[in-house]
Structure 1
Amino acid sequence: MRRRLVVHLATATAVVAAGVVAGAAPASADLVTYCIGTGGAVTVPNDLYVPPNESCALTGTIITGNVSVAAGANLVVAGGRVSGNVQVAANGYLDASNSNVGGTVTVASGGYGVYLKSAQTGAVTVRAKGSSTIDSFLFVEGSTVSGSVAANAGEIRLDQNTQVTGSVNSSGSYYTDVHDSFVDGQLSVLNSATGSVVCGSAVRGKSTFAGNLGGVQLGPNGGLDGCASGGYFGKDVSVTNTTGGVNVDDNIIDGVLTVQSNSPAAVVAANNRIRGGVVGDQAAPAAAKRSAKALTADRERAGDARATERRTGAVAEATAAGPANL
């Protein structure tokens, strides 16, 4: 493994000379810093590129350009700042804590995932899985997304007072959960494989849940999670064509709640405060029982393990590669 960080002109000649697969490096005529190893509190005055299957761990580093994480590569940033956008390729991983990304974060088809903790970013996009065997994840804890979150694959979780200034639109994810967080726009969860849980959160715009398998739980005491409190929904809420159970408990809904074509019928607890009333079929309140096993807690633990394993391995690889000459 190479033990340096090198700056190359990102021309075709430089890319070939650097031994990088054609088309994998950033398509820019500006200087590009190749990162392999560890780096500290310095400023990178251009774009940064983590080559395929390499690892880069940065602490307190400022990157003035864009960042590209190539296929199979890892970038771990703590206390850093990226002025531009971040792109994560297939099987690539981004881990950012106490850091600021001024631009957008985009995960390509089959990207391994993104973990953000106490971070700030622009809009975040997780592209559809496609033919890849890897299903991405996006775990956001105590962070601010200035823009919208758009996800078409993977495990999606917003947690621990995360704020999204735009909307959250998820379609075809494995699950999409929002815990103790705020969404300033609309929330849309469509065709999720194992459903959706929204607890202790506020959504200012319209909320739509449709075609989800495994159930939808808004508030505590449902079949998916034992979370502590309900939430606030600033406009209409619609839960339709859902299998696995629908539970709506201890929420304030400043609009109409629509629950139609769900199997079984939705359970809407009496402790909800719904300004516009309920439209659709409802099951008897006695059916509102939490399952013995909190499936969402299990899937979240499994997801956290994925992030921890990749982060630990990436830092170990970067440390073994040696200090980067930034």
Structure 2
Amino acid sequence: MPGRTVAKLATVSAVIAASVLAVAPTAHADLVTHCIGTGGAVTVPNDLLVPAGESCALTGTTITGNVTVAAGGNLVVTGGRVSGEVRVAADGYLDATETTVDGQVVLAAGGYGIFLKDARTGTVTVRPKGSTTIDSFLFAEASTVAGHVNVGAGEVRLDRGTQVQRNLSSTGTYYTDLHDSFVDGTLSVLNSATGSVVCGSAVQGRATFAGNLGGVQLGPNGTLDSCASGGYWGGDVSITSTTGGVTVDDNIINGQLAVTSNDPAAQVAANNRIRGGVTGDQAASSTNRAARVAAPDREDAGDQRAEVRRTSAVQEAAAAGAAKL
């Protein structure tokens, strides 16, 4: 199985000219701030636009309207606030650290990715890839999504105490993993190319895993990723039509576990506490303690992709700034 790639992104520095204001073409339209460069602890009293192919780095900035990141643009916000929504176009990138977005965050088909760290947002949506060539990602650390997470493409990893206050729905991603995270609604992972790992996390509602090609690992001792502990499941858990292996280890399931039509049959360890019992086909109970050591570390495996984007953005920003001096 190919190693998992998790985009672990740092702040993109931009050394270019200050933001400028431009008036929208219609007579009654609000002003729109075009951000090309850096901004500090000021209030933008309208919408903000990062033009196509440009980079914008904001620190302590408040934006009272909506934000649009045009195709190929990069927006990095640290310690800021957006009163509206954030929409990111194809090949666009959003990095929000210690930042609040009151509205939704939407990554368009072919968007490069979203990185949230110590952030709070409304519903987060990653559109299906469609005919685009870019595989998106959503990576969140210690963040809160005060709504749903709906993902239709790319790499998904929620980590380090991230909370989803409603449902998490994933269809057709490369993988969808939860580490030390909390979903206060239902969890659905369907048709993932390399499967799903849930480690040290809690899901309050029903959980459904179906049609995943690379396997499903709930808890430690699986082959997909290193994992220290299992999780808590507040409702029924269903794992069906999965290839690549299913392991369920060290979990508390306050409902029924259904494991059907998986190839190979699911391995359900004896140390699980399953209130509603197990239905379906399962392999003989076994515990592969060596798997924890042998499993690849997905968090560290894919920094290369992020580094390419980060380096490129910094170089382009520096070049643009030098041209304006």
TM-score (structure 1 length as normaliser): 0.89
2:231 equivalent to 1:239 = no
- The answer to whether the 8 A contact 1:233-1:254 is kept is yes
AA aligned to 1:131 is S
* Secondary structure in 2 matching 1:314: helix
Q: Which residue of 1 aligns with 2:226?
A: 226
Cα deviations by residue, 1:182-216 (Å, 9 ceiling, x for unpaired): 00000000000000000000000000000001100
Question: Closer, same or farther in 2 for the Cα pair 1:59/1:314, shift >3 Å?
Answer: farther
Q: Which residue of 2 aligns with 1:5?
A: 19
Q: Which residue of 2 aligns with 1:22?
A: none
- The answer to whether the 8 A contact 2:67-2:87 is kept is yes
Comparing 278-287 with 52-61, greater Cα deviation is found at: 278-287
Cα deviations by residue, 1:147-204 (Å, 9 ceiling, x for unpaired): 0100000000100000110111000000000000000000000000000000000000
Q: Which residue of 2 aligns with 1:195?
A: 195
* Secondary structure in 1 matching 2:286: helix
CA distance in 2, matches of 1:75, 1:307: 15
* 1:30 Cα deviation after fit: 1.1
- The answer to whether the 8 A contact 2:18-2:39 is kept is no
* Secondary structure in 2 matching 1:301: helix
- The answer to whether the 8 A contact 1:113-1:138 is kept is yes
How many residue pairs get matched?
Answer: 307
AA aligned to 1:129 is K
Q: Which residue of 1 aligns with 2:12?
A: none
CA distance in 2, matches of 1:110, 1:317: 21
- The answer to whether the 8 A contact 1:71-1:90 is kept is yes
Comparing 279-288 with 230-239, greater Cα deviation is found at: 279-288
- The answer to whether the 8 A contact 1:150-1:168 is kept is yes
- The answer to whether the 8 A contact 1:80-1:100 is kept is yes
2:44 equivalent to 1:44 = yes
Comparing 33-42 with 308-317, greater Cα deviation is found at: 308-317
- The answer to whether the 8 A contact 1:155-1:303 is kept is no
Cα deviations by residue, 1:258-289 (Å, 9 ceiling, x for unpaired): 00000000000000000000000010123746
- The answer to whether the 8 A contact 2:16-2:38 is kept is no
AA aligned to 1:306 is R
CA distance in 2, matches of 1:164, 1:284: 35
* Secondary structure in 2 matching 1:310: helix
TM-score (structure 2 length as normaliser): 0.90
- The answer to whether the 8 A contact 2:16-2:318 is kept is no
Question: Closer, same or farther in 2 for the Cα pair 1:242/1:33, shift >3 Å?
Answer: same
- The answer to whether the 8 A contact 1:4-1:322 is kept is no
Percent identity between matched residues is 69
* Secondary structure in 2 matching 1:213: coil
- The answer to whether the 8 A contact 2:152-2:172 is kept is yes
1:251-262 counterparts in 2 under 5 A?
Answer: 251-262=251-262
CA distance in 1, matches of 2:234, 2:189: 17
CA distance in 2, matches of 1:190, 1:247: 17
Q: Which residue of 2 aligns with 1:294?
A: 295
1:134-213 counterparts in 2 under 5 A?
Answer: 134-213=134-213
CA distance in 1, matches of 2:301, 2:47: 34
Question: Closer, same or farther in 2 for the Cα pair 1:217/1:236, shift >3 Å?
Answer: same
AA aligned to 2:20 is V
- The answer to whether the 8 A contact 1:219-1:229 is kept is yes
2:305 equivalent to 1:306 = yes
CA distance in 1, matches of 2:275, 2:286: 23
CA distance in 2, matches of 1:143, 1:318: 28
CA distance in 2, matches of 1:292, 1:131: 38
AA aligned to 2:313 is A
AA aligned to 2:24 is A
Q: Please, what is the CA RMSD of the aligned residues?
A: 2.0
Unmatched 5+ residue regions in structure 2? 1-14
